[in-house]
Amino acid sequence: MGVRMELNPPITPPPTRLAILKAASMVRTFPQISGVSFQLARQQTQAESSSHDTQAGSLCHLRVVLSLLLVLFGCCRVLGEHPERRVSLVNDVVPVLTKAGCNAGTCHAKAGNGQNGFQLSLLGFEPKEDFDHLLKEGRGRRISLASPEASLMLQKASGEMPHGGGVRLPSDSEGYALLRDWIRQGAFYDGDSAPKLVSIEIQPKRATIQPNGQLQISAFANYSDDSQRDVTRLALYESNEKSMAEVSEFGLVKILDIPGKVAVMVRYQGSVAVFNASVPQGAPVESVPPSKNFVDDLLFANLKELGIPPSPLCDDSTFIRRAALDIAGRLPTVEESQRLLTSQDSNKRAYYIDSLLQNPEYADYFANKWTAMLKNRRDDASDITSNFAFYSWVRDGLLANKPYDQMVRELLAATGTVMGNPPVAWYKRVKEPKQQLEDVAQLFLGVRMQCAQCHHHPFEKWSQDDYYSLAAFFSQVGRKPTSTRGEDMIFHKRGVAGLANIKTGTVLKPAALGDTINSIAADEDPRLKLADWMASPTNPFFAKAVVNRYWKHFFRRGLIDPEDDIRDTNPPTNPELLAALEKHFIESGFDLKELVRVIANSNAYQLSSVPNDFNAADQQNYSRFYFRRLPAEVLLDAIDDLAGSQTDFPNLPPGTRAIALPDNSYNNGSPFLKVFGRPENESVCECERVQSSSLAQSLHLMNAGDIKAKLATANGRSDRLSQTDKPLEERIQELYHVAFSREPSANEMSFSMEYLVTNKAEPVSKERFQDLIWALINTKEFLFNH
């Protein structure tokens, strides 16, 4: 790397440019002017001569004259002084605008027409466009070469004139001075000649910082001419976990009091870098639960490194409820609970996990998860057949434990009719190549490509070319009509795959993310090549994305979070663990059940959710189980299980569980599912499912008619318990076993007895049992997986 430079150092033209300048007429005309100034004038002339805009041409002509005058004036002024550094639009002005937020998506880079008619390219990715917007629009008022301070751009930014965005560049700021100097020097475009930004570096790259400590990080930009510039004050900083670390405008990282790993993304003109901080708790970790597999090895090692003692292992009651809810989406049966609680077998938890994986409800539950993200949505009554077929295809694949890479391959490269080959239904929902690429990238690769459709990805390395190259895999998807309304037959349409970058018009051939694909013949279905690439053991995204997604399913938070936003600037909290999971998954042959097995069998998964004296603040190192509310469908089924009721869904057999609903259409008739956030299957993001709690949910559980109806179901549990001859204690025990998979405590038993028995001479009324069930449903212990 070259010599480190000061902020805004003078730029010396490289020899090749000097050679050109010597031949230029202006050199002959004004031999006394310095080479730098000649270069500016020459470039300006070239820029203007290439313009086809006559109005802009006359403006430029005027500007040339003014420039020359200014240059002459400047030269006279600086004769005998150091030559003034030329201010670069690309490397000085645009970064200032970016730092000031002028070209943010919410401001002048807003899609459409920018802000108040003034448009800038997003984050300065298109300097030539910015130059045109500044110089050629706004009736020339934005830039005043004759009187730079009178430029509308400066007056607005400094607050001298009213500005909707407020004061962005005070008149005494460095940024203001830089912009003013650029204008004073002639407001030249130098996009073709200025050194190109190659990368940015930060120092330090990683550090261990104690809670409530702070550290200044520095950013350096590397250019194509091997020069380097300190851009600490111009770079943008963002913490990936604001509850753990805050970053000042100029890169001062302030750590708060939550232990773990935090990253700070540093952005500068399309380049990104990341600073990783490790924040130790520093508590003594005297012991951790025994390791059952590599998950435990790596997770507990991380806790030791951070000094976060884990909570102890959970008891069997907690485990069985947790495992059943997470794997089969249901409460454990009373028989299952009692069998496990009374078993002395040291492997009983592993056996139970295996039994859950053999249970069709595992397939139901995970099919529910996947089909939501695959947009199995009913927009028309006639969608029912394809939706059921598609749901069943996913469900049967999970039941048969079809390798994950095979399932994805069958989906991506689906051909034929929906009834003949149900994954074709995905192409009914996701019709355009761009949408197909975005969904595939986000769902199966964990990469969000949407931004790159219109501009370089601001947080990533992905360009528009990367976007359209990936979309090109879907460019040869052919369609033929069928006799079924709204459905097409899908096939590979012969032809060389390619898709045009809408900005450049260049037709791009299929290319994988960050990788090359051998040329694809016209007869070959490019989607099969994409599937080949995805399933390659060396693919950096495919396995990582799904193990991270499944990790989140069991631990509430992904090792990378959000789980579908994998990028260098959003690093995993435990990279070694993520890598080991990825490796294990690939070596298992993309075996999803094995992935569940290895996670659920770890002691890391079986920790108690009760915090100890040191790990209450931990939110990302899994030193305890992070409890979470039951998903809408699981909660509805759990209430039915406890109340002895069932929910009837239109056109489905009585007793169909909510976790087995094939599409979103059942939300319409179920206020419960809506209130508790069942998704409408419109998004590829799991975030469409609302997992937060709300007042409406509380009110629904307390008062809603459907809950009351369930409690009072004829032949339901309250009916049955009020009519049985069993001792009252046994009946109360049954309720606690169903609800919590445990015995009631002495207090709970006595309280329940006291409530139920109002008159010893009379049997307990069913209403009293309804009340008790209602109370159990409304406990956090019931509503949460803990």
The residues that touch other proteins, with contacts defined as CB under 8 A, are 358-360, 363, 381-382, 384-385, 388-389, 392-393, 396, 399-400, 409-410, 413-417, 419-422, 478, 480-481, 483-485, 489, 491-492, 494, 523, 525, 527-528, 651-654
Q: Quote the least distance from Cβ 380 to other proteins, whole Å.
A: 8
| Paired residues of 214 in beta bridges | 254
Q: Among candidates 559, 566, 574, 568, which has minimal Cα distance to 541?
A: 566
Q: Give the nearer residue to other proteins in terms of CB position, either 393 or 736.
A: 393
Q: Give the nearer residue to other proteins in terms of CB position, either 75 or 419.
A: 419
Task: Name residues whose C-beta falls within 8 Å of residue 152's C-beta, 6 or more positions apart in sequence.
Answer: 138, 141, 142, 143, 144, 161
Please check whether residue 515 is in contact with residue 449, taking contact to mean a CB–CB distance below 8 angstroms.
Answer: no
Q: Give the nearer residue to other proteins in terms of CB position, either 356 or 632.
A: 356
Q: Give the nearer residue to other proteins in terms of CB position, either 193 or 385.
A: 385
Location of structure tokens 């599937």: 531
Q: Give the nearer residue to other proteins in terms of CB position, either 135 or 408.
A: 408
Residue type, 161: M
Q: Quote the least distance from Cβ 512 to other proteins, whole Å.
A: 18
Distances in Å between the Cα of 96 and the Cα atoms of 91, 106, 155, 178 are 9, 17, 15, 8
Give the side-chain half-sphere CA count within 13 A for 317: 13
Q: Quote the least distance from Cβ 409 to other proteins, whole Å.
A: 6
Q: Give the nearer residue to other proteins in terms of CB position, either 205 or 494.
A: 494
Q: Quote the least distance from Cβ 522 to other proteins, whole Å.
A: 9
Q: Among candidates 16, 29, 28, 24, which has minimal Cα distance to 44?
A: 24
Q: Quote the least distance from Cβ 139 to other proteins, whole Å.
A: 53
Q: Give the nearer residue to other proteins in terms of CB position, either 169 or 357.
A: 357
Task: Name residues whose C-beta falls within 8 Å of residue 254's C-beta, 6 or more positions apart in sequence.
Answer: 214, 245, 246, 247, 248
Please check whether residue 143 is in contact with residue 188, taking contact to mean a CB–CB distance below 8 angstroms.
Answer: no
Q: Give the nearer residue to other proteins in terms of CB position, either 189 or 388.
A: 388
Q: Give the nearer residue to other proteins in terms of CB position, either 279 or 411.
A: 411
Q: How far apart are CA 482 and CA 574, in angstroms?
A: 50
| Paired residues of 276 in beta bridges | 206, 263
The pair of three-digit structure tokens given for residue 645, joined into one six-digit string: 């009721």
Give the side-chain half-sphere CA count within 13 A for 106: 4
Q: How far apart are CA 235 and CA 99, in angstroms?
A: 7
Q: 765: which DSSP letter? A: P
Q: How far is CA 533 from the centre of its chain?
A: 22
Q: Quote the least distance from Cβ 399 to other proteins, whole Å.
A: 6
Q: How far apart are CA 118 and CA 55, in angstroms?
A: 19
Q: Give the nearer residue to other proteins in terms of CB position, either 62 or 400.
A: 400
Q: Quote the least distance from Cβ 230 to other proteins, whole Å.
A: 54
Q: Quote the least distance from Cβ 493 to other proteins, whole Å.
A: 9
Q: Quote the least distance from Cβ 382 to other proteins, whole Å.
A: 5
Task: Name residues whose C-beta falls within 8 Å of residue 169's C-beta, 6 or more positions apart in sequence.
Answer: 96, 100, 154, 157, 158, 175, 176, 179
Q: How many CB atoms lie within 10 A of CB 427?
A: 21
Region of residue 683 (phi > 0: left; psi between -120 and 50: alpha; otherwise: beta): beta
Q: Give the nearer residue to other proteins in terms of CB position, either 247 or 323.
A: 323
Q: 82: which DSSP letter? A: P
Q: How far apart are CA 98 and CA 621, in angstroms?
A: 35
Q: Quote the least distance from Cβ 368 to other proteins, whole Å.
A: 15
Q: Quote the least distance from Cβ 405 to other proteins, whole Å.
A: 12
